[in-house]
Amino acid sequence: MNKQIINTTAAPAPIGPYNQSVKANGFLFVSGQIAIDPNTGNIDAQSIEEETHQVMKNLSAILNEAGIGFSAVVKTTIFLTDMAHFATVNDVYAHYFEGEHPARETVAVKGLPKNVNVEISMIALV
């Protein structure tokens, strides 16, 4: 198996013992991203919309580093601390995909790192 670690300074550095993404056997496995602004290292979002946009920007930066975009994504997982945010997160998320959307699940969780409201991970074709 050929495995390559792909990280970028355009997305937040991992806050634990993991990488932003791993390319293996034609897939890119992107670790869950939260709304950390890579320029400040802080959570600057003031709303669930802003939080979701920052998450998607972080994911985009990792995909771009791998030489692909959202059209290559085949699977996502969304983690929410409150399912009341589902519709809002869904609306923001949808704007980042054109044409066919990837497979997805949305999971309610008790808590997320740094007390954020949303985290999204992805699997893409490379």
Determine phi and psi for 38, rounding to 5 degrees: -65, -20
How many degrees, rounded to 5, is the angle at CA 23 between CA 111 and CA 86?
30
List CB contacts of 113: < 8 A, sequence separation 6 or more: 15, 34, 119
Q: Which residue ranges form the domains of the chain, and what is each CATH number?
A: 3-125 (3.30.1330.40)
Q: pTM here?
A: 0.96
Per-residue pLDDT of the chain (126 residues; tens, 9 = 90+): 789 999 999 999 998 899 999 999 999 999 999 999 999 999 999 999 999 999 999 999 999 999 999 999 999 999 999 999 999 999 999 999 998 999 999 999 999 999 999 999 999 999
Burial of 18 by CB count in 10 Å (0-12 exposed, 13-18 middle, 19+ buried)?
exposed
Contact by Cβ (8 Å): 113, 26: no
